[in-house]
A and B are shown apart, each in its own frame.
Chain A
């Protein structure tokens, strides 16, 4: 199957700082990527849809100014958690699909963010 690579896998940052997470589709071009967040013992919740060359669309309740998404190329989307706070500590995971309908979604390895 296709490969989606996410970096870093773990990051610890201080309150008030910003953290950037990268999501790359290694062997296919992805016009759309998705960002999810998972709190301990919970399911994955969609945060936003990243669209290459245009603005991301955010799910209800997700602050777009706090979670900045950039999808500047067909193989890279970035999520920046700005002015991070301890409550932003979570597992963040991205996914991408091959273009076209009815295609499988491939997920990155995830990034465990801890804000201290």
Chain B
């Protein structure tokens, strides 16, 4: 199956700073998503981005499918951005099952 690696595992920022989270995947994918898991465990869909670039407010994401990586950018971070960020990848050769990375735990300090 697909292997998904995220880096860094932990990230501590001062409020207002920018950050880049990385997701590498081992095989061709046709589905790549970024999630933020809130303190109650709920997965919040951030981006569905199998390729290309998308932006939503202070967040943006880029996937370079040919090079098997995706990046999540957080600008002007806020304390409410704290939490765990997961990427998940899937391919039709694996029956559409999503494989999650181990996540990046982001802590934004005031």
Q: How many A-B residue pairs have CB under 8 A?
A: 56
CB distance A43 to B98 under 8 Å?
no
Minimum CB–CB distance from B90 to chain A (whole Å) comes to: 7
In angstroms, Cα B86 to Cα A34, docked, is: 17
Number of interface residues of A (CB under 8 A): 26
B92 near A: Cβ within 8 Å? Answer: yes
Nearest chain A CB to B15 CB, angstrom units: 24
Contact B102 A104 (CB under 8 A): no
- Closest CB pairs A-B (n = 10): A104-B48, A107-B43, A44-B100, A110-B41, A102-B30, A43-B100, A43-B102, A109-B42, A91-B41, A101-B92
With A93-B43, A95-B98 given, can you name 10 additional A-B contacts, CB distance below 8 Å? A34-B97, A38-B41, A43-B100, A43-B102, A46-B99, A93-B41, A101-B96, A105-B31, A106-B45, A107-B43
